[in-house]
Structure 1
Amino acid sequence: MGRPLALPRLLETLSAEEMRQLLQNVADQHPELQQEIVAKAPRPSIESTLSVLSKYQDDFREAFPLGNRPTSDYSYNRVRQHLLQLMDALRDYTPHFLPPQESQAIVSLNYLDAVTNTLHRLPSWDSYQHQRHRNEAYDEIAKAWALVISEASKRAGGFHLQFGGWDQKLVEHNQKSGGRLEEAVHELRSALGFLQAGPGSASPGVSDERATIRQQLFSGSYGQQLGVGHGGW
């Protein structure tokens, strides 16, 4: 006699999307279960999160109309919904990788490095008003960088900040953003000033280029030659 599948067998047949929809429906119908689901779900990794964000980026890129300038107002209006979905996803996922939720500085730094590159890849729209989404995202990411740097400087002697090459990476991010990560650069300068005995005490193995960047960070002269912080989108 026929009978319904037992739950374990039924779950085996579901795709990832069907499983997500099932859990969402159950959570919507039984709000009291939401916290339990969150508590028992595996912790999202950087890889799994970036994979999700990559799908949002793909949808955004694929929405661009053919034969039109990708930075035009027309193109913006065509992709705006997908852009907002990507921005919302970044805004929702980022706090998960920040202290105190994330205790490992290297995980936070790697996540921020990846999503900051995502912002760099967004178009520079013809209309200044359309830059608002990326500019606001840069402002939020700058605060996230500053928070992680501040916390990292308090742990393990700031090891990751001193030897992970993050000073150079952040300098490059700030340049690409037009100086919108200046808050994070300032926090890094403060952190390195606290961790080092002085501007001249470069760590062994630090390249001349990185030593120069550190020297500029300590002195507050970083970016002056490039005009960083004065450009607009």
Structure 2
Amino acid sequence: MSSQSQNSLFRQQQHLYRSAHYLAKSKAPTLYTPPPPSNEGTTKGRKRRASYEDEEMTNSEILEMRPAIGTGDVFQPKRNRLSIKKEFPITTLDKDKLIELINDLVDANPHLKTEVDAFIPPPTTQSISLVIANLEKKLHDSFPFGKTSVRDDYSYHRVKPALTDIVNALLEYAEHFTSSQDEFPSTIFSYLHFATIVAHRLPTWETEAHNQIKRDLYTELINYWKKAIDIASSKLDQGKIFGQQIVSEWAKELAQHDAETHGQFNEVVQKFKERLGWIIGL
């Protein structure tokens, strides 16, 4: 072969190399579709074409990663990147820890209380009953294994934290309902009836001193019952009218609690008769 022919062949090979590695345009990935049953020659032909297209895709990616002619820039391969969303560590906290965190945050920054309250829906008797039910379960689970009916000193000290949580929750919700100007008396009485029933269910201990928590709870609830009667009476003075059926229900609930506590609610019963009893002929 002459020198001129060799030079011509070299230039053709160089041109083909540049076309394959520098001038090829990026193509969308070609999905491989299994060919229909046919003769062996046709199948092999299809596979060779698929391999050629894959080679073109690879060359295109190489082109994108090579420096541009005359510049020092490097092209990044055009591939889809998964965006990883960074989760705030608070998402790993369980409900109790989250509540504790928010309470601590508000205690340290009192100015946040108004903003936090704005995001919290007002409690209802139904939502509160779920909260108290969970607290009662924790109380039950706090007893030594197999001793849920035992009321000795050891069991008391085991369950005291859970017992205190129930008492605090009952009184906090009572304060909420009797302090809100928007609450209707029937809602207040309904909650107090529920809270007093929960108080009845709390354990009575062998050591009398341990029962002080329960006695204090009754004392606080009695004061809230009196406050509820005052609220209902003030509504009457403003022209609000209560039906006999609902007032009779309130009277029956109070009589039930007075009997359950052996007369501890007697003052509440008497005040109810004086302020609201005339509605039902008391």
Query: Do both share a fold (TM > 0.5)?
Result: yes
Q: Could you tell me the percent identity over the aligned residues?
A: 26
Q: How does 1:75-114 map to 2 (within 5 A)?
A: 75-114=155-194
2 CA distance for matches of 1:135 and 1:51? 24
Q: How many residues in Structure 1 have an aligned counterpart in Structure 2?
A: 195
Q: Report which structure shows greater RCO (CA 8 Å, sep ≥6).
A: 1
143, 147, 150: which one pairs with 1:64? 143
Runs of 4+, deviation exceeding 6 Å: 13-16
1:138 maps to 218
1:127 maps to 207
Determine whether 1:177 maps to 2:257: no
SS of 2:85's equivalent in the other structure is: coil
Determine whether 1:49 maps to 2:125: no
SS of 1:178's equivalent in the other structure is: coil
1:149 maps to 229
1:199 maps to none
2 CA distance for matches of 1:112 and 1:168? 13
Letter in 2 for 1:148: A
Letter in 2 for 1:48: S
Alignment TM-score, normalising by the size of structure 2: 0.59
Alignment TM-score, normalising by the size of structure 1: 0.71
Q: Is the 8 A contact 1:96 1:102 kept in 2?
A: no
Letter in 2 for 1:79: V
SS of 1:5's equivalent in the other structure is: coil
Structure 1 stretch displaced more, 84-93 or 127-136: 84-93
1:161-195, Cα deviation, whole Å (9 max, x unpaired): 75451111110111112222222112111123454
2 CA distance for matches of 1:181 and 1:145? 9
1:168 maps to 252
Over 3 Å counting, the alpha-carbon distance change for 1:32 and 1:154 in structure 2 is closer
2 CA distance for matches of 1:191 and 1:162? 15
Structure 1 stretch displaced more, 129-138 or 75-84: 75-84
* RMSD of equivalent CA atoms: 3.0
Over 3 Å counting, the alpha-carbon distance change for 1:32 and 1:3 in structure 2 is farther
2 CA distance for matches of 1:161 and 1:72? 44
Letter in 1 for 2:141: E
Q: Is the 8 A contact 1:161 1:167 kept in 2?
A: no
1:174-219, Cα deviation, whole Å (9 max, x unpaired): 11122222221121111234546xxxxx4xxxxxxxxxxxxxxx5x
Over 3 Å counting, the alpha-carbon distance change for 1:146 and 1:22 in structure 2 is closer
2 CA distance for matches of 1:107 and 1:4? 48
Unmatched tracts of structure 1, length 5 or more:
197-201, 203-217, 219-233
Q: Is the 8 A contact 1:142 1:181 kept in 2?
A: yes
